[in-house]
Amino acid sequence: MLVSPLLRRPLPLAFLGAAASAVVASPAFANAGYDTTALVEAVTLEAVRAHQQEFQAFADASGGNRETSSDGYIDSVLYISRLMTDAGYDVDLQIFPYIYFENLSPAALAQTSPESVEYTVDDPEGFVSSTYSGSGDVTAVVTPVDLVLPPAAAANTSTSGCEAEDFADFPEGDIALVQRGNCAFGLKARNAQEAGAAGVIIFNEGQEGRLEAIGATLGEPGFTIPVVFASFAIGEALAAGGVQARLVVDSVTESRISANVIADSRVGRADRTRVIGAHLDSVPEGPGINDNGSGSAGILEVALQVAALVEAEEMRVDNRLRFAWWGAEEVGLLGSEYYVDNLTEEELAEIELNLNFDMIGSPNYVRFIYDGDGSATEPAGPEGSAFIEWLFRDWFDSQGLASKPTQFSGRSDYGPFIEVGIPAGGLFTGAEGIKTEEEAEIYGGEAGIAYDPCYHEACDTFENNSDQGLSEMLDAVANAVGVFARGSLPVSREKRDGARQASAEVETDYRGNLLAR
């Protein structure tokens, strides 16, 4: 392909001087002292929606989704790679292996005696098949394993199934009933399988906030028996004694490959690299045009407009901008994790911060900002994350728009960066969470329903979008990229590296909600 020279040509000294003299020093100025107007105005809703329309077309031609190994995903990768290459970025496709899991048909769980009760799959009051569950159709006695009923007041007090000794007298061929708490789901299921269980039902622990069935992963493949996660109510009913149940999971687990798209600007200091990322894949159930075609299309258009403005000598880039589209986020942040795990020490030291944009067009949106300083939620991000949060909040304040902190929960691709001590931040408009009355008063929309009612569903199509919300978030994204193209975090490199080292020495699992202890 022809490569535009726009990002390799140094800017004229006269322009650099003029740009430097235009800097405004006031810390109250929403762009942190840098004039980002040209980039904010250049990134349009119409252009971003056009990219999302392309993603929709790729999904339509690929069975309705852009799952990370599908033709729809590959088409999305090639589309972004072509546009970024033509814009003058150095583009790399980082191929990586991963384990694919899919339920081929709906799982089933029913009590068969002493009475017949069928439970509902994919229902918070029912049960959910666990990622990496084996296949099987089992009818057997349900044997409780070291349960705490009623549950203790504090969470993670149950050690049910965490030790092999918990299964010392377990009858081979029975279905093991284990309780959430204290250790990873995969360990509980592994211990049950090795003890001869024909299936495993993990149920929620029972405290407030830990009652419903949740999507749960076993963390790795290798399970040969069916495993599901059930609500506390179901677990309590099955723990009564003398209960027989039928458990069915029809699934496939196999090795596949996917790819990250990594695109570097050809100007800017390599030792002050900014990684601006969004995941590109969808779930198998739908095309993923909000989750996360919104973030992917948003950073794509920002990157293209950065290139155009640099070419027109209307924008200056002092720090290397690395735009990244992650694969396999929906199966466990695998693309971003692979990227971070394969950085050399030198490459890792070059990255000063990570910005993450996962879902920025939810139809019933709230303007969420990741809580970098941990003042409203825990945990706080690494040193420097507080400034990233402030930058987004200050932008919205300057526009007369409310915003709200949201937790670094480990559910998106900032997780691997935080885990190695890289400052992070970003924006989020909400997923399956329910909008409150207070939020509806502040942000509009409808209380009592999800921020994105089509989250992880077939209806996450081009129509599943708030133009107003997406437009507001795009302005904030463009402003942040414009600031960090020029400026640095107000944290010394020595202090930042010290915090990074301290973080690396602490065993912290920022994917804890995925492994869900």
Catalytically annotated residues: 329
DSSP 132: T
Q: Which residue type occupies 350?
A: E
**Residue 302 to residue 359: CA distance in whole angstroms:** 16
DSSP 465: -
Q: How far is CA 326 from CA 133, 270, 310, in A?
A: 25, 21, 25
Strand pairing category for 127-129 and 175-179: unpaired
User: 403-417 b/e with 16+ CB inside 10 Å = b?
Assistant: bbbbbbbbbbbbbbb
Here the tokens at position 27 are 């810390």
**Residue 497 to residue 196: CA distance in whole angstroms:** 48
Q: Nearest-CA neighbor of 394 among 108, 13, 26, 20?
A: 26
Strand pairing category for 319-326 and 368-370: unpaired
Say if residues 55 and 76 touch (Cβ distance below 8 Å): yes
Say if residues 268 and 288 touch (Cβ distance below 8 Å): no
**Residue 143 to residue 481: CA distance in whole angstroms:** 55
How many residues are given for the chain?
517
CA 244 to chain centre: 38
**Residue 63 to residue 80: CA distance in whole angstroms:** 21
**Residue 130 to residue 214: CA distance in whole angstroms:** 9
Say if residues 138 and 124 touch (Cβ distance below 8 Å): no
**Residue 340 to residue 513: CA distance in whole angstroms:** 20
Note the maximum CA span of the chain. 85
Say if residues 287 and 53 touch (Cβ distance below 8 Å): no
Q: Which residue type occupies 439?
A: E
- Residue 426: exposure state from Cβ atoms within 10 A (0-12, 13-18, ≥19): buried
Those residues whose C-beta lies under 8 Å from the C-beta of residue 92, and which sit 6 or more positions away, are 261, 262, 263, 264
Rg (the chain; Cα; Å): 24
Say if residues 290 and 134 touch (Cβ distance below 8 Å): no
Say if residues 224 and 193 touch (Cβ distance below 8 Å): yes
